[in-house]
Chains A and B, each alone.
Chain A
Amino acid sequence: MEQITLLVDGKELTVQKGLTILEAALQNNIYIPHLCHHPELAPASVCRLCYVDVGGKGAVLSCRLPAEQGMVVKTRTPEVDALRCGIVELLVANHHEDCRNCPKTGRCELQRIIAYLRLDRKKAGRLRPAGEETARDVSNPFFVLDPNKCVLCGRCVRTCAELMHIDAISIVGRGYWSRVAPSGGGPLARSSCESCGECVERCPVGALFYTEYQRPKEYVATVCAYCGAGCNLTLGLRDGRIVGVQGSPLCARGRFGWRYVYAPDRLTAPAVKKNGKFRETSWEEAVRLVAGKLSQYKGEEFALVVTARVTNEEAYLIQKFARKVMGTNNIDNTARLTLGDSLPALWEATGAGAATNSFAQIENAAGILLAGANLARTSPLVARQVKKAAVRGSKLIVIDPAENDLYRYAHLWLKPYPGTDLALLMGMAGVIVEEGLLDAGFIEDRCTNFAEFRESLADFPPGRVERITGVPREMIAEAARVFAAAKPASILWSTGITRYAYGRDTVQALISLALLTGNVGRASAGLYPVGEQNNAQGVNDMGCLPGFYPGYHPVTDEGARKRFETAWRADLSLEAGFSLANLGEAILAGKVKCLYVIGANPARDLPDTRKIRECLGKVEFLVVQDLFWSETADYADVVLPAASFAEKEGTVTSADRRVQKIRQAINPVGQSLPDGEIVSKIARQMGAADFYYHPAEVMAEIASLVSIYQGVSTGWLEKGAFVWPAGKSLLHQDAFLTPGGKGKFTPLEYRGPLEQPDLEYPLILTARRNALYSGACAHQVPGLAGLAPAEYLEVNPKDAADFEISDGEEIQVASRRGEIEIPARITEDVPPGLVVLGYNSPRSAFHLLTGAEGKACAVQLRKKITLRMAPELTIS
């Protein structure tokens, strides 16, 4: 980069060419007053304060003029000061002047400018004061918009548009009556504002401020504990308590969601059920009781379910506990509920069970296929990458039967019937092969099994695909052509693909599309399974899976077993365990009798809730370990209080393979303990003396035994993220990680969703998450839940007419397994035959209706006859 030298206030500055005078000065700690400039935003030049004198030729705006070699700049001259003072006097005369009671006092940039200018307040007093005050918008639980203090620098509006691509606020009105407000009118809380708080972070004055703000005294850098995007954030502490979060960009959960840590509902002591009632007890007694009971169920009678929110070190210890101490492979994690078999499918096709590229690369993709993923509601900052790409001209193809927050950015929106995506994708692949749009060189050099795959395409002629999916064949062909032409192209998917019985096949179809078009092993050509939990990748990497040891070594592989037996000095089970998908059957069949549930809530999150609860009732000994009481805990014999992410050390792995350190900021709430420590206590009680939750030591063991984590070290993690394997954010660049180094096509056949509509249950029901704040933790955050819209069922007007349902009417939705009551919303957004449940709360009763598949089922609609509540709905 070319360097230039200029003279500012007599000081010689050497800066990069291309900077404005303002940027050059600020970089070198020379202050020039400004309000609208922000280093992350495009220049607006509306505050007109950053005047400087260049070469004695008079005042010019330093934010618009590029710094040039040899320039002589003066930041203060009488002319410049006169202009600046005139403008600031106007601001002062129109500004709510109660600095002492302003939450921004001391951090206010207007105060700084007034001090810099030594403004003569008497001069401002000559001006006519502003008229009456405008009402503040206090609808948002986390921040306030006070137009009386607003200087209309537009930073907030530009942040919302340029940085976050949300566009919730704009400047409305004209002239003196201009103000920042939601683009569509109404209060912020009812607008498209996502409450990320990025605008508040950038407001120079007291116009946007946090409702609760305390200046932190200490800071702890850590990683957000919500989704798998792996955003870094800093917890601000004061007197041993978290008071806020710093970091950018973040979403509402990242910035405000930490408050669940202090939720009054946190479990604070172990509890044991006696005679149907829980009573608190000591850790000693609880551990002794659990260890004693578990000892009776060693082997295949024991099963463990763990949340994908524990740390890598905890996950490693937990699976080691199941395998070594309990002697079983009956362990599974909740990432299955979002990722399904995505990682094993990727492992089979590419040799690595993970996303191939980093999220950061998405914004440069020329094409994006987004299948069954409501990213804006699950991983807002991954959604932001997709929006960024689309804004830059990337062709986005959205596959989703229901409306998706990203469809506004889409070039094409395909709406297949739920669960028919495989046919759609194979239809696209067929067009690509038929029209010769494939990357023949890539397939020839780098892939195997293509002939078999191509043969299986014969089963997917356009007509059949159209009939199965309901998507016009022309549209499928168009999508295929657009996708094949856009290079590099990325593919992202989530529950809309994975939560079907044959979701693994559909993932294979997505991978095949990438192989077919040469979109693997290149920058911005990524395959991204996007889960919902912060460590979905890590718990899978760590082998919390019934079929795999840590590092995706199959438990049926003798060599792998021997290696872990040696390392752990134990005899390990030869059989693959039960997964979450067949755990219920195993319990009902009496094969599994003892269950240890860590941070999971099968009684609500697994499909066919009624059946799952029946299973839980049959379990002879159930241990539940969590931050909050859950529906599953109702069935428990022992409930153990777990510590949150802010109360422990360890690492988590983002969905794009970045292993990052989370750091302890506060002492565990009550008597709660980190999951890893609880499991270690039980293990030691059961005689396994080498179980300790010492994260660094556990990580050292992981690094020595798990090849993909080789090279990870404490030193590295202190500095930043470790990307597995070996720091590579881009996988399969020269060769695939499969044994032969080739990407593997899988021939596929169409197997539809398990449940089809019939005469009695004529409609297909699917669900869409309507709020970012629908999870168990977010729901404990005061304010977050209140931002969500009410739940409803979307019904096409034709179906509504058939079932005699009117808009807003409370109706009964019944499946073969249960029924719920919900208001109907009549809309053309859903096609006839499909109804969509918009949910926003962990209390949603969707899974009372679902069967074996967690995403869709057949239902009937009934008019509500009585006011009787379904007992299943009234969950305590």
Chain B
Amino acid sequence: MLNEERTILVCHGTGCISGSSEKIYTLLEEDLERLRGREKIRLKRTGCHGFCQQGPIVVLEPEGIFYSRVGPEDTKEIIAAALQGQVVERLLYHDPVTEKKIVSYGEIPFYSKQERIILRNCGRIDPEEIEDYVGAGGYRALARVLKKMTPEQVIAEVKRSGLRGLGGAGFPAGRKWEACYRAPGGEKYVICNGDEGDPGAFQDRSVMEGDPHAVLEGMIIAGYAIGAGKGYIYVRAEYPLAVKRLQTAIDQARRQGFLGENILGSAFSFELEIFQGAGAFVCGESTALVSSLEGYRGLPRPLPRPRTSEAGLWNKPTLLNNVKTFASIPQIILHGADWFAGRGTEKCKGTAVFSLTGKVANCGLIEVPMGTSLRKIIYEIGGGIPEGKALKAVQTGGPSGGCLPAGMLDLPVDFDSLAAAGSMMGSGGMVVVDEDTCMVDLARYFLDFTQRESCGQCIPCRLGTKQMFAILDDITKGAGRPGDIELLSELGEMIAKSSLCGLGKTAPNPVLTTIRYFREEYAAHINERRCPAGVCQM
């Protein structure tokens, strides 16, 4: 670990900041000063640890002492204990499963069962200090690429790694890179899709906030590989901290010669700019994002059309990848494609990041190898269902995804198996549902979101999602009619087939899967005016 000297790491992710970690940092600083510990212990701000439920989080390195739910009143004690080599017992993490206090980071099951490639630096380095990133091996991949590799070799390495786009669709990244590289034309662009709009998903935000340089490094390498001179990071304006940290990172990288003219003395020049979205979920769709970046209303373009890699931003070949995809690149270059491909399954290599939420003991951001089973994620990392309740279902992929019943717990989580089960990887949201959750109400919740976020261009999505929502709303209020289940299925299939873009095509998923796996709940609502979970007031 890079922190050989004693360091107190104070999480400055959005979650912990809202839990007043900034104040905690200031108090720690004052206390350290007062107790004359400045030379002995360093203080450091970090990005998100992922375990936001336990925030604000303070970690003491190199021991790895993990303090959770720290308050401003705890700072004196923490400093005093640290100076004396002691541990503040009452702030230690309390394992809800074993009912034991756990001292160190590495022993907490939430962390120990994960494998962190994308999130490796999150919570470890100060995202606003480029030296921290460099100290953790940052920009070495870039240097290697520029000095030792041709663009073709970089693309070959990415292809060989088996990395698939982590924005949700899972398109092989190497193939996309190659298509951009091969597309004729001198002017090309790299765009990072940081328009994470799903309710409950925050992994892209955490990476941008916690390890912005990794995203930059991945983008610069991509620029070199495809022959682009300019990149844009499309971030939601609702992520002000991510915007600020990315901008700081860009400025620092430029000062250090990782961005700009003749990067690291090579012939390659690359510039990066942040573009803030205006709060439309649909702008996560590639063509809508490009329209928005061009200054137009963010509307998806109808299929069939040229791929973004052939005609993207201003009709130039454009490489559009997700935040996590870019953040994986430096590791693939540094450790090699084989190292990366050694993780995951036959067809899905590497790791996946999930926002684990809902009725699960440990909520937070997790990273696991592709193909890890739902059971392991929910029970080993997530610590199971609290209060001894029974697991009912898992919703993956956010509003575009589907609901899987408890019986499918051994399903390996990767792009293909989730799709086969009627759900999807999508944004990486994972909501755990227990017996107290009404599946109709859950479907209604997601449809409420998609009908609001439909861009309104095509009729099936504009009117269809609204119609499905209205029917679900009726059902949850006891006004369902016989035939509504069939009507929902009919509408859902029509919308999925005829919508213009991915938003509409996937919008019915939460309804279709809950009907597929929990039809009797719908029937109870409609025929008996009864909500089996006791959620809907009728």
A residues adjacent to B (C-beta < 8 A): 43-49, 51, 59, 61, 64-65, 82-83, 86-87, 90-91, 93-94, 126-128, 151-152, 154, 170-171, 173-178
Contacts and interface: CB of A to CB of B under 8 A. Distances in A.
B498 A174 contact: no
B309 interface: no
Given A45-B500, A59-B497, A175 B453 contact: yes
Nearest to B471: A128
A48 B463 CA distance: 12
A48 B458 CA distance: 7
B459 A151 contact: yes
B138 interface: no
Interface of B: 280, 297, 302-304, 451-467, 470-471, 474, 481, 483, 487, 490-491, 494, 497-500
Nearest to A66: B304
Nearest to A173: B456
Contact of B455 (A47, A51, A59, A174): A174
Contact of B458 (A47, A174, A177): A47
A178 B499 CA distance: 16
A64 B483 contact: no
User: Closest 10 A-B residue pairs measured CB to CB?
Assistant: A178-B456, A175-B454, A86-B494, A45-B302, A128-B470, A90-B463, A176-B466, A48-B498, A46-B457, A46-B458
A64 B302 contact: yes
Contact of A87 (B460, B471, B481): B460
A51 B453 contact: no
A178 B462 contact: yes
A44 B301 CA distance: 8
Nearest to A91: B459
Contacts of A51: 498
Contacts of A87: 459-460, 494, 498
Contact of B280 (A91, A126, A174): A174
Given A48-B499, A64-B302, A83-B494, A90 B467 contact: yes
Task: Among A43, A44, A59, A126, find the residue whose CB has the most chain B CB atoms closer than 10 A.
Answer: A126
25 contacts: A44-B457, A45-B458, A45-B500, A46-B302, A48-B460, A59-B497, A64-B303, A86-B490, A86-B494, A91-B463, A93-B463, A126-B481, A127-B467, A152-B462, A154-B457, A170-B297, A174-B280, A174-B455, A175-B452, A176-B451, A176-B456, A176-B462, A176-B465, A177-B456, A178-B456
A74 to B, nearest CB: 17
B288 to A, nearest CB: 12
Contacts of B487: 126-127
Nearest to B450: A175
A82 B494 contact: yes
Given A86-B494, A128-B467, 11 more contacts: A48-B458, A59-B497, A87-B460, A128-B470, A152-B459, A171-B297, A174-B280, A174-B456, A175-B452, A175-B461, A176-B466
B460 A90 contact: yes
Nearest to B458: A46
A153 B142 CA distance: 48
Given A94-B463, A127-B467, A46 B500 contact: yes
A82 B302 CA distance: 21
A154 B470 CA distance: 25
Contact of B459 (A46, A64, A127): A46
A56 B481 CA distance: 36
Contacts of A174: 280, 452-456
Contacts of B465: 175-176
Contacts of B481: 126
Given A45-B302, A46-B459, A83 B471 contact: no
Nearest to B464: A90
Task: Among B303, B304, B459, B460, find the residue whose CB has the most chain A CB atoms closer than 10 A.
Answer: B459
Task: Among A82, A126, A171, A175, find the residue whose CB has the most chain B CB atoms closer than 10 A.
Answer: A175
Nearest to A174: B456
Task: Among A44, A61, A176, find the residue whose CB has the most chain B CB atoms closer than 10 A.
Answer: A176
A171 B490 contact: no
B446 to A, nearest CB: 14
Nearest to B474: A128
B481 to A, nearest CB: 8
Contacts of B460: 48, 86-87, 90
A394 to B, nearest CB: 19
A207 to B, nearest CB: 14
Contacts of A177: 456
A49 B280 CA distance: 26
A413 B182 CA distance: 42
B362 to A, nearest CB: 35
Contacts of A93: 463, 467
A178 B498 CA distance: 19
A45 B458 CA distance: 8
A51 to B, nearest CB: 7
Nearest to A43: B302
Task: Among A59, A127, A128, A177, find the residue whose CB has the most chain B CB atoms closer than 10 A.
Answer: A128
A82 B498 CA distance: 11
A170 B483 CA distance: 38
Contacts of B458: 45-48
Contacts of B302: 43-46, 61, 64
Contacts of A127: 467, 487
A168 to B, nearest CB: 16
Nearest to A51: B498
A171 B467 contact: no
A44 B500 CA distance: 10
Contacts of A171: 297, 456-457
B236 to A, nearest CB: 16
Contacts of A152: 456-457, 459, 462
Contact of A176 (B304, B463, B498): B463
A205 to B, nearest CB: 13
B128 to A, nearest CB: 35
B452 A83 contact: no
Nearest to B302: A45
Contacts of A90: 459-460, 463-464, 467
Nearest to A179: B456
Contacts of B457: 44, 46, 152, 154, 171, 178
Contacts of A175: 451-456, 461-462, 465-466
B459 A83 contact: no
Nearest to A86: B494
A154 B458 CA distance: 10
Nearest to B463: A90
Nearest to A85: B494
B498 A83 contact: yes
Nearest to A48: B498
B487 to A, nearest CB: 5
A784 B497 CA distance: 47
A86 B467 CA distance: 12
A151 B303 CA distance: 21
A65 B305 CA distance: 10
Contact of B497 (A64, A83, A94, A126): A83
A51 B458 CA distance: 14
Contacts of A43: 302
B462 to A, nearest CB: 6
B330 to A, nearest CB: 37
Contacts of B451: 175-176
B484 to A, nearest CB: 8
Contacts of A176: 451, 454, 456, 462-463, 465-466
B48 to A, nearest CB: 30
A94 B470 CA distance: 12
A59 B498 CA distance: 9
Contacts of A151: 459
Contacts of B463: 90-91, 93-94, 176
Contacts of A178: 455-457, 462
Nearest to B481: A126
B486 to A, nearest CB: 9
Nearest to A90: B463
Contacts of B474: 128
